[in-house]
Amino acid sequence: MKVAGKVEESVVKEHDEWLRNFRYEEFGEEIKQLGIELKRQQGAEDLQHLYKMVRWSNTFTALGIVLAPFLPVWCMIPSVLLAVGVTSRWTMIAHHTCHGGFEKLGDPGYSRFTFGVGSLWRRFLDWFDWFLPEAWNVEHNQLHHYKLGEDTDPDLVERNMAYLRDLPMAYTMLKYLATGFIVCTWKWWYYAPNTFKFLRIAEMKKNQNIQVLRSEEARLGQLFKAPLVLTNFLFGKADDRPTFVSLVDFLMRVMLPFVAYRFFLLPYCMYTVSATLCSYVGIVGTTTYWTIVGHFVVADIVANLHSFIIIGKTTLGRECGSSTCTCIVLTILCCVFCCLFQVRIIVAMICIVFQHRVVLRPQRFI
């Protein structure tokens, strides 16, 4: 903790000893100058790079849609293509846009104030995923980044996963199974409802319902900070979650539109078009509607796994090897998946397996 340019003696841990002599003012000034320089370098080349990423993402999605009606589910090519399209749309386009990275490049379609927000139509056109773009902007852009690693960070993994980590060793197999489930479902099981919870908190503050928020926080205690997952809605007690977050509101605003489009409407249209085309050219098709749905289900699992790897390997810091119960499962999943996507992930997973501790420190300011 930094107080008046220094670090409190009582809160410095052994691995943070370097903070005592860290020159904060010089570091801050250099970061400020770097921001000015990078802003000056922005231009048409950055916009063209954005368009190229959009084309790549759309191409993966289009190829997956074209191939899915004609290939069985066990042939994962369409599923992988669809998954890469979803993940790249989020991590390469929506993420940067919602952070305001393309704000001053001249294309209003990629402004954080309009991209995917304001209506279901904009969400459909710009970024149709499990979670609501407005909810992402609140939870990720505002709360996560401004309170990164603090107790009020909604994505503080060591706090959110404490219930699983603290289980006795007798439940080791349950930990493995739970980890595998979370890796493959986290976007809709955890991220969609939890981001919506923080959107509702922001909406309550905007509508001047501060007293309701305070009373709910006092009533729930630590449960108010706990992540809101889908199983809380389905199987948890209503008294254990905020009253201003309802299942019906969540389903209607967030989940059902995406589920209806991704797993019913789009597959039905694909099946109808492919069946008509096969009939027209005299080909007897073997792919069914449920085969196409199966491709989308597999694609969703792959997209969850892919995005988990991307986020996990960039956010795991010094404690990346501290939770040994999940290391083997995560390593196996990552090594299999990197054969399809990113070979460089192997390096990060080796760090996890051998509990190699990596601390990123700006050495020049120490």
What would the pLDDT profile of 109-131 be if each residue is shown by its tens digit?
A: 999 999 999 999 999 999 999 99
Task: Tell me the per-residue pLDDT of 202-255, one tens digit each, with 9 for 90 and over.
Answer: 999 888 788 888 888 888 888 888 888 998 888 888 888 888 899 999 999 999
pLDDT reported for residue 284: 60
How confident is residue 9, by pLDDT bands cut at 50, 70 and 90?
A: low
Closest C-alpha among 60, 47, 51 to residue 306: 60
What is the rounded radius of gyration, in angstroms, for the C-alpha atoms of the chain? Answer: 23
pLDDT(25) > 50: yes
More confident residue, 340 or 193: 193
pLDDT reported for residue 350: 38
Q: Which pLDDT score is estimated for 316?
A: 55
Whether residue 12 has pLDDT greater than 80 = no
pTM: 0.79
Q: Which of the four pLDDT bands, split at 50, 70 and 90, describes residue 44?
A: confident
Q: Is a pLDDT exceeding 60 seen at residue 326? A: no
Model confidence over 50-100: pLDDT tens digits? 999 999 999 999 999 999 998 999 989 999 999 999 999 999 999 999 998
pLDDT at 147: 83
Rounded Cα–Cα distance for residues 175 and 180 (Å): 9
Mean pLDDT of 3-9: 49
143 pLDDT above the threshold of 60: yes
Residues 6+ positions from 216 with CB-CB distance below 8 Å:
224, 242, 243, 244
pLDDT at 4: 44
Q: What is the pLDDT of residue 334?
A: 47
More confident residue, 338 or 144: 144
Band (pLDDT 50/70/90 cuts) for residue 151 is: confident
Residue whose C-alpha is closest to residue 76's, from 361, 278, 362, 337: 337
Q: Which residues contact 326 (CB under 8 A, 6 or more apart)?
A: 175, 176, 179
Q: How would residue 354 be classed by pLDDT, with cut points 50, 70 and 90?
A: very low
CA distances to 96, 162, 319, 352 from 312, rounded to whole Å, are: 18, 17, 12, 11
Average pLDDT score, the chain: 81
Lowest pLDDT segment from 158-162, 262-266, 318-322: 318-322
Residues sharing a CB contact under 8 Å with residue 69, sequence separation 6 or more, in sequence order = 270, 271, 273, 274, 275, 285, 287, 291, 292
* Domain edges within the chain: 1-41, 42-315, 321-366
* Mean pLDDT, rounded, for 155-161: 80
* pLDDT one-digit tens code per residue, 335-353: 455 444 443 433 443 343 3
Mean pLDDT of 181-207: 92
Higher-confidence position of 258 and 149: 258
Query: 235-239, 289-293, 296-300: lowest mean pLDDT where?
Result: 235-239
Strands (E), the chain: 2-3, 6-7
